[in-house]
A and B are shown apart, each in its own frame.
Chain A
Amino acid sequence: MNTVHNVVIAGLGGQGVIKASDILADAAFRAGYDVKKSELHGMSQRGGSVSSDVRFGPQVWSPMVPAGEADALVVLEETQVEVNRGVLRPDGVLIGPELLDAEALKNKKSLNVTLLGALSTQLPIAQEHWLAAIHANLAPKLHKLNEQSFSLGRAAAERVAAKN
């Protein structure tokens, strides 16, 4: 069966939304999936809303996640939740900073990667591909911090899941 995984990442310009979706798309690609990723980023530098769609599976057609079909919505900034909620399917997962505890959020500059760590618990992509994608998409001096953020996000999501 052609199961396509649909993820939307959203936030404001300058928060690293596109970088996060680049990392996710690259990780899925490394894991052997067909991948498509798309966003509109004409004015994103200047602080406006940005969202990016990533789809992966055996075969992906349209690069845009249809409304109501996202399995997961990752939101970097609370004000952007309502704007984007419509992309989620009824039982889809919303992942935002408010889900995570203070420990997980201590690296403020890499919030995007922290949330990817939390997202990773929901997706069939092995850890090695995530790490390789982080390395390939970020400057070497940022690798350590972002690896740590990724692990913090992942651990926090696991703690939340264990509680429920």
Chain B
Amino acid sequence: MSDSPQLLSGDEAIALAALHAGVRLGTGYPGTPSTEILETFDRLGGRAQWSPNEKVALEVGLGAAFGGARTLVTMKHVGLNVAADPLFTAAYTDLVAGLVVVSADDPGMASSQNEQDNRHYARAAAVPMLEPMDSQEAYDFTLLAFEVSERWHLPVLLRITTRVCHAKTVVRPQNGFQAGSPVGPEPGFRRDIPARVMIPAYAKPAHRRLRQKLAEIAAWNDAEGPNRIFAGGSELCLIATGIAAMHAREAAPQASLLTIGMTYPLPLETIRTFAECCERVVVLEEGDPVLADALKAAGIAAEGKPEHYRYGELNVARVRRILAGDLSPEPVPPKGKPPELCQGCSHRGVFEVLRDLNCIVAGDIGCYTLGVLPPFQAMDTCVCMGASIGVGLGLRHVLPEAEARRVVSVIGDSTFVHSGITGLAEMVYNPPATGHVVLILDNGTTAMTGQQEHPGTGRTLSHDPTGRIHFEDLARAMGVQNVHLVDFQAAEGTLATLLKDLLAKSETSLVVTRQPCVLAAPKIRFYEKAAADRSATAPAAVVDD
């Protein structure tokens, strides 16, 4: 990728900008629609790593930023819930190098369990937020986010949404960036205890510093922030953020339009001036009425959207309806064919057994969540990653014994590493009277999000061999009483027999079913062969070094 215009997705544009910004480390955990950012960064020659989960990814990123390296951390919207703990206090610290945290939201839930609006996090954590409306802005705002982060020494949130992440639009990269040429500070350690050790004595002044920084950023946002005015008539004036700005421009080309690129802290004076000379001001935003409420609080007269546009994505037709005040029911688009587990998918056999044994299944998130659909309908709960184990234990604690004995927790391999290990600790520490059974569906990949590696595969983001966590060994070391492996060579009926046996015991059990995802299997074989070839031809490892 060079300086000439390119057709890029928002995710690709962020990766290219990260390269141009001299990002020394990209960390994250996969999650649609954010996954392609780090994959592209890696492909472009950047250093990118999958962490076990988003909290760890942000912590590693924070350490790198303390160490003076520009760092990019990526995740989907719900990932920020997991990473919220470090985020809120990282905001108090003084960073040496830029730290940009990408939150990829999914209004409309194309591939998510909720449609939470992460603009609330910017306000709650007191962290600046930039919101691009296309790939060009995704590129520009990534560069800008590093500048803002370094100028005020705090993390910056870059919020993107599914349409911005995955839509391809034309990007003109800024001139003169040379991959590998030094941009941003040089890594090196400088001790600064009050800026980084958040005990109350240092955190109290740090909180005041943070509010001071935000006041300065708000003034900067008013003076020279990335907000644009498309001039038009004064009868109708629109204020829009993100992809809604694009729909607005198309739905009402004659209207004046103010697009807000930095949505926290808001450029309130810019907005006030824009709104003053307008007859009708309408706020266009996807999700919650975050901007509309903020304007109301600031005493700026502007209409929000009717309540039912809180749900789902906006599009040109919906924006036209909002502007026309059309409250008639919206046409419902015909339903397409729903996805299903692939033919030959290893999860199929497991859900047949769970169905036939009439288990109460505390489920989790991944391809295997499709086990909830016919012909299996073998899942009873699914809330967030890792919840299967805690929820299963909670059910076991309170249900009558006959029902408690039917409860099984089912979790994928990537999800287990993400947030299932603490659930296992809970099972060992607070075992239900009837014991419990946890099933790890180990298909050797993070299939749901497009086959990413994780610590259980023993390969890095770029598929090179690295350390590997062995689930059975881990469970034994943690004190789980029965640990079993059922692999793809096991005889028909093995899993059913084993489960029946374990469900009858009042002990803690972990069963790993191991069979590669059929879509990933050829690639896994390829990576394994490449690793074997390399170790065969490489000179013997230097042991006395």
Contact = CB atoms under 8 A, between A and B. Distances in A.
A48 B7 contact: no
Instruction: Give the most central of A37, A42, A48: most B CB within 10 Å.
Output: A42
B336 A62 contact: no
Contact of A62 (B111, B162, B250): B250
B367 A46 contact: yes
Interface stretch (B327-335, B396-404, B412-420, B521-529): B327-335
B340 A46 contact: yes
Interface stretch (A80-88, A107-115, A144-152): A80-88
Given A25-B168, A40-B110, A45-B519, A66 B317 contact: yes
Contacts of B110: 40, 42-43
B32 A63 contact: no
Contacts of A66: 250, 315-317
A64 B337 contact: no
B64 to A, nearest CB: 30
Given A29-B7, A62-B250, A66-B315, A42 B167 contact: no
Contacts of B367: 46
A48 B335 contact: no
A20 B482 CA distance: 50
Contact of A64 (B7, B111, B134, B315): B315
Interface string A46-59: 11110100000000
Is the contact region of chain B dominated by helix, strand, or loop, or is it mixed?
loop
A41 B334 contact: no
Contacts of A38: 163, 166-168
Contacts of B166: 38-41
Contacts of A63: 134, 163, 167, 169, 243, 246
Interface string B248-283: 011000000000000000000000000000000000
Contact of A48 (B246, B315, B334, B337): B337
B127 interface: no
A64 B339 contact: no
Contacts of A82: 334
A34 B169 CA distance: 8
B339 A47 contact: yes
Interface string B334-361: 1111111110000000000000000000
Nearest to B162: A40
B416 to A, nearest CB: 21
B252 to A, nearest CB: 11
A140 B406 CA distance: 54
A41 to B, nearest CB: 7
A63 B370 CA distance: 30
A67 B341 CA distance: 30
Contacts of A61: 246-247, 249-250
Contacts of B167: 36-38, 63
Contact of A46 (B333, B334, B341): B341
B33 interface: yes
Contacts of A48: 336-340
A104 interface: no
B247 A62 contact: yes
A26 interface: yes
Contacts of B394: none
15 contacts: A12-B337, A35-B7, A36-B134, A36-B167, A38-B166, A43-B111, A45-B519, A51-B336, A60-B169, A61-B246, A62-B247, A64-B316, A67-B331, A82-B334, A83-B335
Q: Shortest 7 CB-CB distances between A and B: which pairs?
A: A42-B111, A49-B336, A48-B339, A46-B339, A38-B167, A63-B167, A61-B250
Interface of B: 7, 32-33, 108, 110-112, 134, 162-163, 166-170, 243, 246-247, 249-250, 315-317, 331, 333-342, 367, 370, 450, 519
